[in-house]
């Protein structure tokens, strides 16, 4: 993070010491490592590696999120529930980016605002679990906590937490980021090409209702070409990465001091969020993330009170800095219309401008009689609509969506124009954790969100 053209600013020793205060606090959702010294050695190795992202990129994102919080932009964040090491292939990464770019074009037109594009990528390797253990039949083993901790195979060897997976997680993130940057800066993201992909989607008879919007976008692009728009500039996009900041043996060694300002940045991603399971005000995660300069998200479930929200603001955004704090609501389709408005009303009293983002995935899970974890596409859509309705009623701005998706044609969520039913789930169910929208369902959701944005 050193720029030789700028003077190096040394960090206050108290700032550096504060980055480890979390070790004195209660902490949740950490694996039980069998060898403490091996974990410490892996963390030291990671601390010696180059940063994955840079402070200037993080600052740029914070500025864009500030615009989204004030209604001048909109955040689209999408990607895998849990990335796997085996899934970090060029084809799968390309398909995820392609899906997000396609969604972004539709949203840009619907919102008539810039879309901030962010992937749940290059670090979404760790997953919180509802139980430390998993039982199958008469065998009980540690729960699968993501590839950065242990393996999915239900064997004692696979399920033992392995510190070397921390190092492998770093290297997998590096290769993923290399591909992300190549695809988003090398012409793959050309606006005209992305639109052609969407035209194919809209021509499908099942998606006929979206064809008019696709035609409108087509006319707009042709007008831009006729008017001499600089399409060389539209061949590249800014694309940011984010993941849940969960595993402290990985996040802490990825924390570096910016040579320009002497302040700490977590360089594992541009954006990190704190899950509802780890957002205890007096816990380790909140304390650590309050000390880094990255924009920080916090998941809010339906039981969140206005006082909970106020205390989170005071801890994570004491200076009330636009772009610093994002609230990601995950309340469920049946609860959001009641649970969200009191929080939106209360925010007006705190002189804070958080970015409000809808996560319509995590509050709408269900398990089918044949044992598949799934979500109904209609519930996901309904929660998004409830999110927009709440903001419209209160007079605040709905600033983004946070979606678990894949660019592949999986069958993990029920419904959508493909009419996936319970019998179809088994056809191509590939997620190791939570069900994701497939490529077609993701695009359908983008067109629906665009309709909401156009009317807002």
> Was 330 annotated as part of a binding site?
yes
Q: Report the 3 state secondary structure along the chain.
A: CCCCCCCCCCCCHHHHHHCCHHHHCCCCCCCCCCCHHHHHHHHHHHHHCCCCCCHHHHHHHHHHHHHHHCCCCEEEEEECCCCCCCCCCHHHHHHHHHHHHHHHHHHHHHHCCCEEEEEECCCCCCCCCCCCEEEECCEEEECCCCCCCCCCCCCHHHHCCCCHHHHHHHHHHHHHHHHHHHHHHCCCCCHHHHHHHHHHHHHCHHHHHHHHHHHHHHHHHHHHHHCCCCCCHHHCCCEEEEEECCCHHHHCCCEEECCCCCCEEECCCCEEEECHHHCCCCCHHHHHHCCCCCCEEEEECCCCCHHHHHHHHHHHCCCCCCCCEEEEECCCCCCHHHHHHHHHHHHHHHCCCCEEEECCCCCCEEECCCCCEEEEHHHHHHHHHHHHHHHHHHCCCCCEEEEEECCCCCCCCEECCCCECCCCHHHCCCCCCCCCECHHHHHHHHHHHHHHHHHC
> Was 157 annotated as part of a binding site?
no
**117 forms bridges with which residues in the sheet?**
76, 239
Cα separation of 396 and 375, whole Å?
A: 28
| Angle ∠(353,442,193) on CA atoms, nearest 5 | 100
> Was 362 annotated as part of a binding site?
yes
Residue 325 — φ and ψ, nearest 5°? -120, 130
Report helix angle 377-394 to 439-455, nearest 10.
Answer: 20
Q: How far is CA 340 from the centre of its chain?
A: 20
> Was 136 annotated as part of a binding site?
no
> Was 225 annotated as part of a binding site?
no
> Was 404 annotated as part of a binding site?
yes
Cα end-to-end distance, the chain, whole Å: 41
> Was 348 annotated as part of a binding site?
no
Contact 306, 330 (CB under 8 A): no
> Was 433 annotated as part of a binding site?
no
> Was 434 annotated as part of a binding site?
yes
Contact 276, 330 (CB under 8 A): yes
Q: Which residues are annotated as a binding site for Mn(2+)?
A: 81, 362, 404, 434
Binding residues: 81, 120, 276-277, 299, 330, 362, 404, 434
Residue set of the binding site for phosphoenolpyruvate: 120, 276-277, 299, 330
């Amino acid at each position: 993070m050193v720029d030789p053209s700028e003077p190096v600013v040394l960090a206050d020793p108290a700032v550096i010491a504060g980055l480890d205060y979390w070790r004195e606090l209660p902490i949740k959702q950490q694996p039980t490592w069998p060898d403490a010294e091996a974990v410490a050695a892996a963390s030291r190795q990671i601390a010696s590696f180059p940063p994955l992202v840079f402070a200037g990129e993080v600052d740029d994102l914070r500025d864009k999120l500030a615009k989204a919080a004030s209604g001048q932009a909109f955040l689209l964040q999408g990607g895998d529930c849990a990335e796997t090491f085996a899934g970090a292939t060029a084809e799968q990464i390309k398909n995820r980016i392609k899906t997000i770019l396609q969604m972004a074009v539709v949203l840009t037109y619907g919102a008539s605002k810039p879309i901030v594009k962010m992937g749940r990528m290059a670090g979404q390797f760790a997953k919180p679990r509802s139980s430390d253990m998993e039982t199958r039949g008469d065998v009980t083993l540690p729960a699968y906590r993501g590839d950065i901790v242990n393996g999915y195979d239900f064997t004692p060897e696979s399920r033992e937490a392995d510190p070397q997976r921390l190092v492998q997680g770093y290297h997998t993130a590096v290769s993923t980021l290399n591909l992300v940057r190549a695809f988003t800066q090398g012409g793959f993201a050309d606006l005209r090409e992305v639109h052609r992909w969407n035209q194919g989607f809209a021509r499908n008879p099942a998606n006929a209702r979206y064809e008019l919007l696709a035609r409108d976008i087509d006319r707009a692009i042709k007008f831009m070409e006729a008017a001499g728009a600089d399409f060389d500039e539209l061949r590249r996009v800014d694309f940011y990465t984010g993941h849940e900041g969960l595993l402290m043996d990985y996040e802490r060694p990825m924390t570096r001091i910016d040579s320009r300002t002497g302040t700490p940045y977590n360089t594992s991603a541009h954006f990190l969020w704190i899950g509802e399971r780890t957002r205890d005000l007096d816990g380790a995660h909140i304390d650590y993330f309050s000390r880094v300069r990255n924009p920080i998200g916090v998941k809010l479930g339906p039981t969140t009170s206005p006082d909970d929200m106020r205390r989170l603001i005071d801890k994570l955004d004491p200076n009330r800095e636009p772009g610093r704090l994002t609230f990601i609501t995950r309340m469920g389709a049946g609860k959001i219309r009641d649970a969200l408005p009191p929080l939106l009303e209360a925010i007006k009293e705190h002189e804070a401008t958080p970015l409000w983002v809808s996560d319509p995935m995590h509050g709408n899970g269900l398990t089918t009689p044949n044992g598949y974890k799934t979500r109904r596409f209609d519930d996901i859509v309904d929660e998004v609509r409830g999110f927009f309705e709440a903001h419209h009623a209160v007079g605040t701005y709905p600033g983004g969506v946070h979606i678990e998706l894949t660019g592949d044609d999986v069958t993990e969520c029920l419904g959508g124009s493909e009419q996936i039913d319970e019998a179809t789930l088994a056809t191509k169910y590939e997620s190791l954790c939570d069900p994701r929208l497939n490529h077609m369902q993701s695009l359908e959701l983008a067109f629906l969100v665009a309709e909401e944005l156009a009317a807002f």
